[in-house]
Amino acid sequence: MTDAVYKIVAFAVTLGVLVVFHELGHYLVARLAGVKVLRFSVGFGRVIWSRVVGRDRTEWALSAVPLGGYVKMADEREGYVSARDLPRAFNRQSVYRRMAIVAAGPIANLLLAALLFSATYVAGIPGQRPLLAGPPASSAAAAADIRAGDEVTAVDGERVRSWQELRWRIVRAQGELAVTLTLARADVGGTPVERRLSLAGMKERDWDADPLTALGLRADLGAPIIDGVLPGKPAQIAGLEAGDRILAIDGAAMRSPGDVSAATNSHPGARLVYRVLRDGKPLDIPVRVESVERDGHVIGLAGVRLRVDPAAAERLAVTVRYGVVDALGAGVRKTWELSAFTVRMLGRILVGDASLRNISGPLTMADIAGQSAQAGTLVFASYLALISISLGVLNLLPIPLLDGGHLLYYLAELIKGSPVSDRAFEVGQRIGMAMLAVLMALALFNDVSRLF
């Protein structure tokens, strides 16, 4: 299967799972509320396949445009409803029932995310211990007296068991002035110490790229090994070879592939001296790094593929696993944290504190879906959970056309004691359509910009 086909299939599976769960939320609560469901459709537009099932003769359908779905209920505002079915019409239900039916779709997405995260925790998530290398002298980590050999055990009092959890705790603190790291310090027998790590100097591009590297938090994975050099690139021209172990660049020790990337990326066009170990002998090899523009920033590239020292990877390997009950709690917690983080990021985008480039569209989703599917079931399940949270939160936003917009109408109905007027509803729908069109255009623009 080609890479493009893999991505398309993974994206189709992602959309299918998320849309079905979302619409099932609406469908099940509508049935519990006694509302008659006429059609359950995956996709919009012309129906290309359908089957009528059940006492209510509900039509289960696949439609031509696969970007979404809908549940069509008996509703006097949308068509004829027989006298027998009038008590079961959506528009005749109490405002509380209508709110429950509308909210059920996004809530179903959030529940799906919690279940997926819980399943990954039960299966066990492979990762690496958060063992730190010595930070660069001018970094926030060095200013906080973080040392080589420190292992992070908690961030702001919350336990950390892997490098991935450390990254999430730091990313979640975006917008804060500092975090408190609890460290097991090697030179005092693992005795816990606390250090306050400042986030004040972090710029937007630091958060977009690699916030841990920007702060000086470096994984100690041992000196990285060159897995291959790209033809015609600076590394090959300079004489670097597959199998070389990179000990240092311009005198700074390299303890992970990320260290090499950071040292190279930050010096576009510069002449850097790579100290490598080849056949047991150290060599100094000057490399003239090329300048490349990525996402509006000029970075340096040498043209090497790197791998981690297998012995170091084995030494640091850890699997984060929970029992079923604890996994359910951890899944719910992770879903809540990511939902709150998503809302906070949307707020920062609205007030201009975060870049509009954080908004992604279907092309980026398809790309990441393909990559995560190729990385394995656990990674793909985590990706599904993340996108399910995004879909759930997005649909709860108070934008007409979305579920959150309908909830806003019903809230107004509760306050004023009667439904909003047809005119207000129509104007709201037009505003919502315009807002969603702008949002989709921006997302597609960002997707295309990333491609080129």
**Catalytic residue numbers?**
23
What are the CA-CA distances from residue 383 to residues 129, 145, 160, 332, 369 (Å)? 22, 35, 21, 16, 7
What tokens appear for 49 in the block?
Answer: 């396949």
Distance (Å, rounded) from C-alpha 166 to C-alpha 150? 13
Instruction: Pick the closest to residue 8 from 360, 386, 445, 369 (CA basis).
Output: 369
What tokens appear for 362 in the block?
Answer: 């279907």
List strand residue ranges (DSSP E) for 250-353, in order: 252-253, 271-278, 281-288, 290-294, 297-301, 304-307, 317-320
What are the CA-CA distances from residue 382 to residues 22, 58, 107 (Å)? 17, 33, 18
Q: How many residues does the chain have?
A: 452
What are the CA-CA distances from residue 394 to residues 90, 197, 334, 359, 390 (Å)? 24, 32, 18, 12, 6
Under a CB-based contact definition with an 8 Å cutoff, are residues 217 and 126 in contact? no
Burial of 59 (0-12, 13-18, 19+ CB in 10 A): middle
Q: Which amino acid is at 294?
A: R
Instruction: Pick the closest to residue 386 from 166, 126, 22, 110 (CA basis).
Output: 110
Distance (Å, rounded) from C-alpha 163 to C-alpha 127? 7
